[in-house]
Amino acid sequence: MVDVRARSVVRRPGLALSVAVLVLVLLAAVLPGLFTDQDPLAGVPAERLRGPSWEHWFGTDETGRDLFTRVVHGTGLSLRATALAVAVALLAGSALGLLAGFRGGWLDSVLMRVVDVLQAIPAILLSLALVTALGFGTTNVAVAVGVSNLAAFARLMRAEVLRVRSGVFVEAARAGGVRWGGVLGRHVLPHALGPVLVLAALTFGTAVLEVSALSFLGFGATPPTPEWGALVAGGRSFLASAWWLTTFPGLVVAVVVLAANRVGRALDDERRTA
């Protein structure tokens, strides 16, 4: 099975390139020293605002710091925030959908009305409102993005639970005297979880964009800590004279989002054809 999937990836250059990009990004997040040995916070004033070159691939910023180094070291913080956001949306949304779909009745109605309210508000506006209430910081940004995306997980999990709940094996388990918690954990959840995990993969790219947007607006890490969105924001004052300060961090965000979406779509296609 693994060989078949590997050959499938190789036969699709776009998917293979997307997987390679994500692997490189994960390596940069975990082991930034593999890509650069420079200090992301140390600058050389004599080299301020230097353009891209062999010595400085992405150029330097207004204090002479190497921009490529700052992008690499910002990968870990940005991806951790994105992973936390997806985890919050996955766990909280799945829990709501699981309870609503399995218990039904008034609980289903109440939980789904809450989900309707969350879904009626644009995700970025809801994220802004939540992070304003929670306060600044990468963790608060991640929680806000996660809560703003949980509605889709809740609806999908509820739909999958309703589908699985009518299965013969579930009815047999309940008729055999298994408690509802046991039926939920041993029979319903494992069969309903697959599509929700695929949705998590699809949401990863969106979460990268939303986390970077909030960081761009100043809600993320405190400067001079490197973070993708903050790096883009920091170069706005130099667009006319140092275009690379916003272009290269922005391109990194765009490439990661596109690669994550491509891999997520491939996983969704595989699930549909399985």
**Coil, strand or helix: which one is 51?**
coil
Residue 7 lies in a domain: no
CA distance 109 to 105: 7
pLDDT of residue 7 exceeding 60: no
- Which CATH number fits the domain that encloses residue 183? 1.10.3720.10
Domain that holds residue 176: 18-31+57-273
Angle between helices 189-216 and 138-165 (to 10 degrees): 150
User: How many structural domains does the chain have?
Assistant: 1
Query: How distant, in Å, are the alpha carbons of 88, 111, 129, 259 from that of 95?
Result: 11, 10, 23, 28
Residue 137 lies in a domain: yes
Nearest to 268 by CA among 170, 161, 196: 196
Mean pLDDT of the chain: 87
Band the pLDDT of 169: cuts 50, 70, 90: low
The pLDDT score that the predictor gives to residue 1 is 45
Per residue in 204-261, pLDDT tens? 999 999 999 999 999 988 888 899 999 999 998 898 889 999 999 999 999 999 999 9
In-domain check, residue 99: yes
Over residues 88-147, the pLDDT tens digits come to 999 999 999 988 887 778 888 899 999 999 989 888 899 999 999 988 899 999 999 999
Quote the pLDDT of residue 4.
45
Domain annotation covers residue 9 = no
Question: Which of 182, 172, 171, 257 lies closest to 213, judged by CA?
Answer: 257
pLDDT of residue 194: 85
Q: Confidence class of residue 9 from pLDDT cuts 50, 70 and 90?
A: low
Task: State how far the Cα of 207 lies from the Cα of 147, in Å rounded to an integer.
Answer: 11
Provide the percentage of residues in the chain whose pLDDT is more than 70: 88
> What's the one-letter identity of residue 186?
R
How far is 270 from 5, CA to CA, in rounded Å?
A: 10
3-state secondary structure of 85: helix
Three state DSSP letters for 198-264 = HHHHHHHHHHHHHHHHHHHCCCCCCCCCCCHHHHHHHCHHHCCCCCHHHHHHHHHHHHHHHHHHHHH
Establish if 243 belongs to a structural domain: yes
Q: Could you tell me if residue 37 is inside a domain? A: no
pLDDT digits (tens, 9 = 90+) for 19-43: 999 999 999 999 999 999 999 999 8
Task: Flag whether pLDDT at 186 surpasses 70.
Answer: no
Sign of the four-CA dihedral 219, 148, 124, 253: positive
> Looking at the domain assignment, is residue 92 inside a domain?
yes
pLDDT band, very low/low/confident/very high, at 10 (cuts 50, 70, 90): low
Residue 8 has pLDDT above 50, yes or no: yes
Q: Tell which wins on pLDDT, 49 or 267.
A: 49
- pLDDT confidence bin for 47, thresholds 50/70/90: very high
Q: How many Cα atoms sit within 13 Å of 227 on the Cβ side?
A: 31
Amino acid (one-letter) located at 3: D
